[in-house]
Amino acid sequence: MNVGLEHFLAVSFILFSLGLLGVILRRNLLVIYLSLELMLNAANLALVSFSRFNNKLDGQVMVFFIITVAAAEVAVGLALIVALYRRRQSAHVEDLNSMKL
Amino acid sequence: MKSEALPWIILFLPLLAATLIALFTLRCRTLSALISIGAIVTGFGLTAVFIAANGFHPAVTETTKEWLKINDGAHVLLSADFGLKLDTLSLMMMLIVTGVGGLIHIYSFGYMHEDRSMPRFFAFLSLFTFSMLGIVLANNFLMMFIFWELVGVSSYLLIGFWFEKPSAGDAAKKAFITNRLGDFGFLLGILMVWGLLGTLNLTQLHDLAQANPALLGAGATTAGLLIFCGAVGKSAQFPLHVWLADAMEGPTPVSALIHAATMVAAGVYMLCRTLPLFNAEALHVIAYIGGFTALLAALIAVQQNDIKRILAYSTLSQLGYMVMAVGLSGPTPAMFHLTTHAFFKALLFLGAGSVIHALHEEQDIWKMGSLKAKMPITFWTFLFGTLALCGVPPFSGFYSKDSILGQALEQKNYPLFALGVFVAGLTTFYMFRLFFVAFVGKPRTEKAKHAHESPAVMSMPLLILAVFAIIGGFIGIAVNYGSQFKPDGESLTLVQQLLEPLHAPAGLIAGLGAVVVGLFAAFSLYKNAETDPLPKLLGPLSTAMKNRFYFDEIYEATFIRAHDALAAVAGAIDRWLLEWFFIGSLRGGTDIAGRGLRLLQTGNLQTYALLFVLGVAALLYFVLGK
């Protein structure tokens, strides 16, 4: 079987949709955060595969940057979640409704 | 032109004085008075210097600064300069405003000495002087209208000077609103002239209208009468005459300056300034309105008992004369009478003020009497003013009134001539009634027994004005005005001017006859009279005269009542339709929409995320999917 661009994109789409479902449906903040990372990497996968099949390096370079930035972002995001947990003694989104009128 | 800056300095000095007093010296009484008096006296001096340098016909008649210009491409839509017009007419008026005004300023220093807020009074007076000079010097209609309104404001402020008295506040409002009615017509007239002729510059209008009198076309009569509306308001002609008598609530120097000598004359001045704009029909209406006002006011004056009110109605009557003269195409007699009237009416008002001051604010002539020995200067100057007003030769009023009667004869308008003669007789009658009752006979009250002459600061202006009231008729005033309106007229020597009335003996004899009849009637009725014998003789007519022919009551019952009804309807529309229905439903609708939209705000993070994704999906569909 010849693996083409469409297969890579299909995997990328499935990963992105799984991540999106996770963000919308799961209740635990940490899991939502993991799902977000999943969506990010689905996008990375799409970029890399386009780069590969178009014989250009732009996408790959971009993914390097994204991974680097994502590492920093994870550090900040986790720190925020920890700080929030310390304050509220909970990491469930149902408890985070202080914006409700 | 020599000394071009002088008129600008003369114009703005009083404004500077008013500003200085209002900002810095409201607590310094004497200093404020001196600033104000200094400004106007300097103005008079500078006017004299200017006339000495340039004569009454300056080589350059306009000095302008560009002020407002609206272009439509290269085509100029509206151009109004801030400019000063300098010719005989404006220079003579400047002499009157600064000269007579200056004397009244000095007199006020004595008259208002006891008043707590004298600095405020002088600030207002200076503001008025500035506005009046602005009208006189304006070279275009727009600028004239602005100063016209400024004069209205200063008049309002000065009538209501003693605002703690409710009657003064009411009188001020009445004067201002009545004037506004006239000014509305005036503004419409100005717009109409601008629309038809395309310029507001008075010189250009003058030249255009003189070159081609049919230029205004079918709208000429309407435009003329609308402009005349301004004069009807400001010069208190029928039917807007009701404010002037009430304006006597202001301090007496104000009555002398604004409501006798200068401001009320502004209407006549404006008519003379724009005379070529009026066609024969408009002039006809103007002449008859003037004549009717003269008669009406003279009749009312016969039965008034308040010394200032008699003088106020007399002013109305004389203004009627002037307007009538303008209507008879006689700007020279009109301006001549305006000038002499400024002298003797200011004198009479200041004399009345002197009496009122001496009698501790007593204004009823039946509570005065026998003032000759106690107030000799006031007595004699008031007598001269009265003689001048009645038109006894050789006092100034005789010459100017004779020139108006002569103008009526020249125009072959015999009804107005007869009316003028009759009013001259009435004038003599009511003025000598005032004179006999207030100044001769026995003192009727304790106050009159203890009267005393006013201080020199008040009697000196009286003496100077009396001199001009006596000699004003033959010192070249009429010749000067004549040179403006009829450039080919010859100049006359002093003796020729003295004998000028002899050229039209019919007017002279009729006028003098009226004076003699009026004097005789007043003498026989009021010499040593204890009470007024006229009510018994005239019956209901006298009551009607005393009540000013019920004009105030008629206006109250019709216009003011109608206005109140209109205001009530407008109020109901505002309260119920606009406020309750429209604004209420707008507010209610917003409230309900807000309550509905609030349900969307769940506070749940994941709902927001879902909506966000749906939104992005919809966006992508619209951007890429088609």
By the 8 A CB rule, do B5 and B107 touch? no
Per-residue model confidence (pLDDT) at position A94: 79
CB-defined contacts A:B, below 8 A: 26
What are φ and ψ of residue B362, in 5° steps? -90, 125
Structure-block tokens of residue A35: 């799902």
Residue range B535-550, pLDDT digits in tens: 777 778 888 877 888 8
Q: Classify strands B75-85 and B62-72 as parallel, antiparallel or unpaired.
A: antiparallel
DSSP E strands, A1-101: none
In terms of Cα–Cα distance, which of B350, B410, B409 is closest to B382? Answer: B350
Q: What is the pLDDT of residue B1?
A: 47
**How far B601 CA sits from the closest chain A CA (Å)?**
6
Closest residue in B to A27 (Cα–Cα): B606
Cβ atoms < 10 Å from Cβ of B596 = 9
B609 in reach of chain A (CB within 8 A): yes
Interface contact B280, partner A, CB < 8 A: no
Could you tell me if B596 lies within 8 Å of chain A, comparing CB atoms?
Answer: no
Please indicate whether, in this complex, the C-beta atoms of B603 and A25 are within 8 angstroms of each other: no
The answer to whether the Cα torsion of B578, B580, B583, B589 is positive or negative is: negative
What local confidence, expressed as pLDDT, does residue B489 receive? Answer: 63
Separation in Å, CA of A1 to nearest CA in chain B: 31
Residue from the list B598, B605, B610 with its beta carbon closest to the beta carbon of A101: B598
For B395: left if phi > 0, alpha if psi spans -120 to 50, otherwise beta; the answer is beta
A22 → chain B, closest CA residue: B606
Using CB atoms, pick whichever of A20, A23, A100 lies closest to residue B603: A100
Phi, psi of B247 (to 5 degrees): -65, -10
Residue of B nearest to A36 (CA): B609
Which burial class, exposed, middle or buried, applies to B152 when counting CB atoms under 10 A from its CB (0-12, 13-18, 19+)? buried
The answer to whether residue B602 neighbours chain A at the CB level (below 8 Å) is yes
* Contact call for A24 and B610, based on CB within 8 A: yes
Closest CA to B224 of B140, B179, B281, B149: B281
In the block, tokens 């909970």 appear at A90
Answer yes or no: do A23 and B605 touch at CB < 8 A.
Answer: no
Residues in B closer than 8 angstroms to A97, CB to CB, are 602-604
Option in B604, B610, B613 nearest A97 (CB):
B604
Interface contact flag, A101 B604, Cβ < 8 Å: no
| Neighboring chain A residues of B617 at a CB cutoff of 8 Å | none
Measured between CB atoms, does B604 come within 8 Å of chain A? yes
Q: Give the SS3 label for residue B563.
A: helix
DSSP letter string, B267-314: HHHHHHHTGGG--HHHHHHHHHHHHHHHHHHHHHHHT--BHHHHHHHH
- Among residues 198-257 of chain B, which lie with CB inside 8 Å of chain A? none
Q: Which residues of chain A have pLDDT under 50?
A: none
Report which of B300, B310, B401, B295 is spatially closest to residue B351, judged by C-alpha positions: B310
B613 touches chain A (CB under 8 A): yes
- The Cα B359–Cα B369 span in angstroms is 11
Cβ-based burial of A9 (10 A; exposed 0-12, middle 13-18, buried ≥19): middle
What's the CA gap between B473 and B495, in Å, rounded?
A: 11
Selecting from A24, A96, A100 the residue whose C-beta is nearest the C-beta of B602 gives A100
Chain-chain contact of A25 with B604 (C-beta, under 8 angstroms): no
Regions of chain B with pLDDT less than 50: 1
- pTM of the model as a whole: 0.79
Q: Does A93 sit within 8 Å of B605, measured CB to CB?
A: yes
Residues of A in contact with B603 (CB under 8 A): 97-101
Nearest residue on chain B to A92, judged by CA atoms?
B605
Residues of A near B (Cβ–Cβ under 8 Å) read 20, 23-25, 93-94, 96-101
Contact with chain A for residue B605, Cβ under 8 A = yes
The answer to whether B611 contacts chain A (CB < 8 Å) is no
Q: What is the mean pLDDT of chain A?
A: 89
Side chain identity at residue B472, one-letter code? G
Q: Which chain A residues are within 8 Å of B620, Cβ to Cβ?
A: none
Q: Which residues in chain A touch residue B604, judged by CB atoms under 8 angstroms apart? A: 93-94, 97, 100
For A25, which residue in chain B has the nearest alpha carbon? B606
CB contact under 8 A, B598 and A23: no
Q: Can you read off the two tokens belonging to residue B475?
A: 């010192």
B600 to chain A, any CB pair closer than 8 A? The answer is no
Q: Which residues of B touch A81 (CB under 8 A)?
A: none
Predicted-complex ipTM score: 0.79
Rounded Cα gap, residues B400 and B395, in angstroms: 10
Contact criterion met (CB < 8 Å) for A93 and B613: no
Look at residue A101 in the predicted model and tell me its pLDDT. Answer: 55
